[in-house]
Amino acid sequence: MDLLSNKWIVNLLVCCLFIGVGCNSVEKKIYVHLNYTVPCVRLLNATHQIGCQSHLSGNVGVLHVLESEENVDWVLRSGPNPPYLVILESPLFTRSIMMKLKNGSSRVAGVAVVAPSANPLEGVSPHTTCPNENTGVYTENYDPSLAHCNVTVWNPLGSGLSYEQFDFPIFSLKDDNDTQVIRQCYMDHNRAVNGSTPQYPLCAMQLYSHMSAVTDTATCMRRNDINFSISPEMVCDPLGDYNVWASTRPINNTAKGHKMWESVVIAAARLDSRSFFFEVAPGAESGVSGFVTLLAAAHALRNATQEAPPNRTILYTFFQGETFDYIGSSRMVYDMQNNNFAVDLDNVHSVLEIGQVGLRADSRLWLHSDPVSRKNDSVNAEVRKLIESLQTAAKGLNVSVNEPGFSQPLPPSSFQRFLRARPIPGVVIEDHQSAFTNRFYESMYDNAEYLNISYPPNLTPEEQLVFVTDTAKALTEVATVVARALYIQAGGAESQLEGINADPQIVTRMLYGFLIRSNNSWFQQRIPPDFMSHLTDRPTNFYVGVAQQRSELTHLVQYLLANLTGSTANISQDNCQNQREDEKDKESKHMYSYVWVQGAAPPNSTKREGFCVRSTVRLSKALSPAFDLRDYTSKNYSTWTESRWKSIKGRIFLVASHDLEMLTLGVGVAVLLASLLLTYIMSSKADILFSSGREPANATY
Ligand SMILES: *[C@@H]1O[C@H](CO)[C@@H](O)[C@H](O)[C@H]1NC(C)=O
Ligand SMILES: *[C@@H]1O[C@H](CO)[C@@H](O)[C@H](O)[C@H]1NC(C)=O
Ligand SMILES: *[C@@H]1O[C@H](CO)[C@@H](O)[C@H](O)[C@H]1NC(C)=O
Ligand SMILES: *[C@@H]1O[C@H](CO)[C@@H](O)[C@H](O)[C@H]1NC(C)=O
Ligand SMILES: *[C@@H]1O[C@H](CO)[C@@H](O)[C@H](O)[C@H]1NC(C)=O
Ligand SMILES: *[C@@H]1O[C@H](CO)[C@@H](O)[C@H](O)[C@H]1NC(C)=O
Ligand SMILES: *[C@@H]1O[C@H](CO)[C@@H](O)[C@H](O)[C@H]1NC(C)=O
Ligand SMILES: *[C@@H]1O[C@H](CO)[C@@H](O)[C@H](O)[C@H]1NC(C)=O
Ligand SMILES: *[C@@H]1O[C@H](CO)[C@@H](O)[C@H](O)[C@H]1NC(C)=O
Ligand SMILES: *[C@@H]1O[C@H](CO)[C@@H](O)[C@H](O)[C@H]1NC(C)=O
Ligand SMILES: *[C@@H]1O[C@H](CO)[C@@H](O)[C@H](O)[C@H]1NC(C)=O
Ligand SMILES: *[C@@H]1O[C@H](CO)[C@@H](O)[C@H](O)[C@H]1NC(C)=O
Tell me the pLDDT tens digit for each residue of 665-675: 777 788 888 88
- Predicted confidence band of residue 30 (pLDDT cuts 50, 70, 90): low
Helix (H, G, I), strand (E, B) or coil at 683: helix
Of 202 and 35, the structure prediction assigns the larger pLDDT to: 202
The alpha carbon of 303 and the centre of ligand 9 are apart by a number of angstroms equal to 6
- Predicted confidence band of residue 548 (pLDDT cuts 50, 70, 90): confident
Q: Report which protein residue has its CA nearest ligand 11's atom 4.
A: 525
Q: Report which protein residue has its CA nearest ligand 9's atom 13.
A: 300
Distances, alpha carbon 23 to alpha carbons 334, 668, 669, 671, in Å: 62, 8, 12, 11
Average pLDDT over residues 209-220: 95
Using the atom order of ligand 6, give the atom closest to the CA of residue 194. 1
| Least confident span in 431-435, 469-473, 528-532, 548-552 | 548-552
Confidence (pLDDT) at 19: 41
Answer yes or no: are the C-beta atoms of 455 and 380 closer than 8 Å: no
pLDDT over threshold 60, residue 2: no
User: What is the pTM for the complete model shown?
Assistant: 0.88
Average pLDDT over the chain reads: 90
Q: Report which protein residue has its CA nearest ligand 3's atom 4.
A: 145
pLDDT digits (tens, 9 = 90+) for 498-519: 999 999 999 999 999 999 999 9
The alpha carbon of 648 and the centre of ligand 7 are apart by a number of angstroms equal to 21
Q: What is the DSSP letter of 685?
A: T
Confidence (pLDDT) at 498: 94
Average pLDDT over residues 236-262: 91
The alpha carbon of 522 and the centre of ligand 11 are apart by a number of angstroms equal to 10
Average pLDDT over residues 218-228: 83
Over pLDDT 90: what percentage of the chain? 77
pLDDT digits (tens, 9 = 90+) for 74-86: 999 988 888 999 9
Confidence (pLDDT) at 218: 95
pLDDT over threshold 50, residue 226: yes
State which of 32, 34, 35 you would mutate to test the pocket of ligand 1, scoring each by most atoms of that ligand within 8 A of its C-beta: 35
Q: Which residues line ligand 10 (CB under 6 A)?
A: 311, 491
Confidence (pLDDT) at 193: 79
| Least confident span in 16-30, 336-350, 626-640 | 16-30
- Predicted confidence band of residue 20 (pLDDT cuts 50, 70, 90): very low
**For residue 241, what is the enclosing H or E element?**
strand 240-247
3-state helix, strand, coil in the chain (%, to 5): 40, 20, 45
Answer yes or no: are the C-beta atoms of 287 and 442 closer than 8 Å: no
**For residue 172, what is the enclosing H or E element?**
strand 170-174
d(CA 195, CA 433): 53
- Predicted confidence band of residue 219 (pLDDT cuts 50, 70, 90): very high
State which of 33, 36, 177, 180 you would mutate to test the pocket of ligand 5, scoring each by most atoms of that ligand within 8 A of its C-beta: 177
pLDDT over threshold 60, residue 24: no
Confidence (pLDDT) at 4: 39
- Predicted confidence band of residue 252 (pLDDT cuts 50, 70, 90): very high
Confidence (pLDDT) at 648: 93
Using the atom order of ligand 9, give the atom closest to the CA of residue 299. 13
The alpha carbon of 35 and the centre of ligand 1 are apart by a number of angstroms equal to 6
The alpha carbon of 176 and the centre of ligand 5 are apart by a number of angstroms equal to 8
State which of 262, 305, 311 you would mutate to test the pocket of ligand 10, scoring each by most atoms of that ligand within 8 A of its C-beta: 311
Average pLDDT over residues 293-298: 98
Confidence (pLDDT) at 83: 93
- Predicted confidence band of residue 230 (pLDDT cuts 50, 70, 90): low
Confidence (pLDDT) at 115: 92
Confidence (pLDDT) at 642: 97
- Predicted confidence band of residue 695 (pLDDT cuts 50, 70, 90): very low
Confidence (pLDDT) at 26: 38
- DSSP string spanning 128-165? -SSTTTTTSS-STTT-GGGGGGSS--S-TTB--GGG-B
Q: Report which protein residue has its CA nearest ligand 10's atom 2.
A: 311
d(CA 283, CA 62): 35
Using the atom order of ligand 9, give the atom closest to the CA of residue 500. 14
Helix (H, G, I), strand (E, B) or coil at 225: helix
Ligand nearest to the CA of 605: 12
Which residues 6+ apart lie within 8 Å of 325 measured at CB? 45, 132, 134, 135, 624, 637, 638, 639, 640
Using the atom order of ligand 8, give the atom closest to the CA of residue 252. 1
Q: Which residues line ligand 5 (CB under 6 A)?
A: 176-177
Using the atom order of ligand 4, give the atom closest to the CA of residue 163. 5
Helix (H, G, I), strand (E, B) or coil at 40: coil
pLDDT over threshold 90, residue 454: yes
Q: Report which protein residue has its CA nearest ligand 2's atom 11.
A: 103
- Predicted confidence band of residue 10 (pLDDT cuts 50, 70, 90): very low
The alpha carbon of 420 and the centre of ligand 7 are apart by a number of angstroms equal to 39
Q: Which residues line ligand 1 (CB under 6 A)?
A: 33, 35, 177-178
Q: Is the CB of 604 under 6 A from ligand 12?
A: yes
Confidence (pLDDT) at 654: 85
Distance of CA 154 to the CA centre of its chain: 21
- Predicted confidence band of residue 14 (pLDDT cuts 50, 70, 90): very low
Answer yes or no: are the C-beta atoms of 278 and 38 closer than 8 Å: yes
Of 247 and 665, the structure prediction assigns the larger pLDDT to: 247
d(CA 363, CA 381): 27
Average pLDDT over residues 129-148: 95
Confidence (pLDDT) at 674: 85
The alpha carbon of 109 and the centre of ligand 7 are apart by a number of angstroms equal to 26
The alpha carbon of 222 and the centre of ligand 7 are apart by a number of angstroms equal to 10
The alpha carbon of 45 and the centre of ligand 4 are apart by a number of angstroms equal to 6
Of 490 and 678, the structure prediction assigns the larger pLDDT to: 490
Confidence (pLDDT) at 392: 96
Ligand nearest to the CA of 150: 3
Average pLDDT over residues 364-376: 96
